[in-house]
C-alpha cells in the first residue's frame, strides 16, 4: 500500500494564517486528488496532512513551501507517516 500511496505531515511556519492558506491548500489538494486535512494551529503555524499518489503528495509539499500569494513561509517541517486510506480533503 505504501508503494502506491504516500502520506506527509507538513508544519508550515511564518505569515501563514489569515492569508487563505487553508482554502488554497484545499483547492490544490482537490486538484491533485490528494486526501487529508489542513488546520490552523494555536502557535500560529498551519498543519497539513496529505495522502495520495507519491508524486501528488510531493507536489503538495512543494506548494506548502511557497504557499498562496499573500503567505510568507519561513519554515516547513515535513515528516513521513504511514498512509491511513483517507478520502476527501477538509479544512479543520
The C-alpha angle with vertex 64 and arms to 74 and 58, in degrees rounded to 5, equals 130
| Residue 60, C-alpha cell as written in the block | 503538495
| Residue 32, C-alpha cell as written in the block | 491533485
Please confirm, yes or no, whether 22 is among the known catalytic residues: yes
Please confirm, yes or no, whether 40 is among the known catalytic residues: yes
Q: How far apart are CA 57 and CA 52, in angstroms?
A: 6
Instruction: Pick the catalytic residue from 22, 28, 39, 92.
Output: 22
Instruction: Pick the catalytic residue from 9, 13, 39, 40.
Output: 40
Active site residues: 22, 40
Amino acid at each position: 500500500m505504501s508503494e502506491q500511496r504516500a502520506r506527509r505531515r507538513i508544519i508550515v511556519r511564518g505569515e501563514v494564517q489569515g492569508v487563505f492558506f487553508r482554502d488554497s491548500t484545499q483547492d490544490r489538494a482537490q486538484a491533485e486528488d490528494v486526501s487529508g486535512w489542513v488546520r490552523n494551529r494555536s502557535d500560529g503555524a498551519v498543519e497539513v496532512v496529505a495522502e495520495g499518489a507519491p508524486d501528488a503528495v510531493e507536489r503538495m509539499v512543494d506548494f506548502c513551501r511557497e504557499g498562496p500569494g499573500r503567505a510568507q513561509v519561513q519554515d516547513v517541517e515535513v515528516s513521513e507517516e504511514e498512509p491511513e486510506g483517507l478520502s476527501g480533503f477538509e479544512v479543520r
